[in-house]
Amino acid sequence: MIIKNYEIKKFLNKNQIFLIHGENEGLKEDIILEITSKYSKESITKYTEKDIQDNLDDFYNTILSQSFFEINKIILVNDVTDKLKNEIEIISDKNIKDVSIVLISKTLEKKSKLRNFFEKDKNLISIPVYKDDHRTLLNIANNFFKQKKIVISPESLNLIIERSSEDRKNLKNELYKIENFIGNKKKIDINDLTKLTNLSENHSINKIVDLSLAKNTKLTLRALNENIFSTEDVIIIIRSYLIKSKRLLKLTTELEKNKNIDQVISAFKPPVFWKDKEIVKKQMAIWTKDKVKILIKNINNIELLLKKNTNSSINILRNFIIEQSSISNN
């Protein structure tokens, strides 16, 4: 059966087999933490799919073995694909009562045999974890600062989320970093935020994306040359490009209804950060709604290409950014 991530509490009182799948790594971590919170470290066993394939007997023994000291135990399996479907089917048929199993997977397509098996079986639990929207991340950040009794402006909140590339895991890292940075202070402002390392790095990323969208090839090249990115950075960068392009799509759509750029930007939610308004104006003057739609499709294709070609991902991304900054929209 399929459940929402916020329904997980209903299923924690008895042992279950869970499948957590999707691209939201931060939400995955939150769900796994909630599921495993009642277990001791000694009762948690971790595998990867490859571990199980290499030694299936060990996996079965871990599940079937009983201990006088462990009332319940939990098994976490990472990097799961359809290859484990048969093994999981065998285990679920045995109706084992003192073991919970959590299968953790990347995005599984609708045609996935494992995903379909979980979704159709009422005794199994499938939890898809999709990308968080801006409002969800805003609530996470807002609740964090309320709990810590730290005063922060809506503008600063939106800046933190933007600089986190609208990613839950990045956002939480930034929130804890902010907490450590401000110490006993009970108020944080824009100047405080810009002093933090990752926010400055992400500012460089945002600057590159903004310059590329504004068709400023010369400054885009300069910004690219001033930064050294690793293969781990490319997905963050391309998703930052996607986020800003989606914002640009909304802005250009509104601009078709209201021809006044300043009014469209002022009324936009979430608000455009004041330092970004001029470059956003330039982007809106260059791009049309239809052109942005094509761009978003191209970005999604590039992300797939980056994931398939890790070794050359930096060059692929760099060429894409430069190409977008130089291609005429006429």
**320 or 13, which is more confident:** 320
Q: Which two tokens stand for residue 239?
A: 């998703």
Sign of CA pseudo-dihedral 241, 246, 251, 255: positive
Please compute the mean of the pLDDT values over residues 257-281 and round it to a whole number: 86
Q: What percent of the chain has pLDDT over 70?
A: 94
Structure tokens at 306: 């980056």
Q: Which residue has the tokens 């990097």?
A: 79
Looking up tokens 């922060």 gives 152
All domains in the chain, ordered by first residue: 5-128 (3.40.50.300), 134-195 (1.10.8.60), 199-326 (1.20.272.10)
> At how many degrees (to 10) do helices 217-225 and 313-326 cross?
160
Q: Is the pLDDT of residue 203 over 60?
A: no
Least confident of 20-24, 81-85, 180-184, 311-315: 180-184
**b/e map 164-175, b = 16+ CB within 10 Å:** bbbbbbbbbebb
Q: Which two tokens stand for residue 140?
A: 């996470």
Mean pLDDT (whole number) for 60-84: 82
Summarize the confidence of residues 103-111 as an average pLDDT. Answer: 93
- Looking only at the bridges linking them, the beta strands covering 73-78 and 99-105 are parallel
- Can you tell me the distance from the alpha carbon of 250 to that of 133, in angstroms, rounded to the nearest whole number? 15
Return the pLDDT at 85. 94
Q: DSSP letters along 55-79, please?
A: -HHHHHHHHH---SS-S-EEEEEES
**What is the C-alpha end-to-end distance of the chain, expressed in Å?**
50
> What number is the average pLDDT over the span 5-10?
89
Q: In the predicted model, what is the mean pLDDT of residues 197-212? A: 74
**Band of the pLDDT at 196, cuts 50, 70, 90?**
low
| pLDDT at site 121 | 92
The whole-number pLDDT of residue 154 equals: 87
pLDDT at residue 313 is higher than 90: yes
Q: pLDDT at residue 315 above 90?
A: yes
Mean pLDDT of 111-128: 94
Work out the pLDDT band at 261, boundaries 50, 70, 90: very high
Cα Dmax for the chain: 74
Q: What pLDDT score was predicted for residue 330? A: 64
What is the pLDDT, as a whole number, of residue 296?
95
pLDDT category at 240 given cuts 50, 70, 90 is confident
Q: Which one, of 325, 33, 14, 19, lies nearest residue 168 by Cα?
A: 33
pLDDT single digits (tens) 44-70: 899 999 999 999 999 988 888 765 555
Over residues 277-284, mean pLDDT: 94
Beta-strand ranges (E) seen in the chain are 17-21, 44-48, 73-78, 99-105, 125-128, 151-152, 187-188
Other C-beta atoms closer than 10 Å to the C-beta of 27 total 21
Is the bond preceding residue 270 a cis peptide, omega within 30 degrees?
Answer: yes
Phi and psi, residue 294, nearest 5°: -65, -40
Looking at residue 200, its pLDDT comes to: 53
Higher-pLDDT residue of 207, 292? 292
State the average pLDDT over residues 84-90.
Answer: 92
- Average pLDDT for residues 271-279, to the nearest whole number? 83
Round the average pLDDT of the chain to a whole number and report it.
87
User: Rounded to an integer, what is the distance from CA 194 to the centroid of its chain?
Assistant: 22
Specify the long-range contacts of residues 326-329, CB closer than 8 Å, at least 24 apart: 326/215, 326/217, 328/215, 329/215, 329/286, 329/287, 329/288, 329/291
Residue 201 scores a pLDDT above 70: no
Q: What is the pLDDT of residue 96?
A: 77
**Residue 277 above 60 pLDDT?**
yes
**Tokens found for residue 194:** 């810009």
Burial of 73 (0-12, 13-18, 19+ CB in 10 A): buried
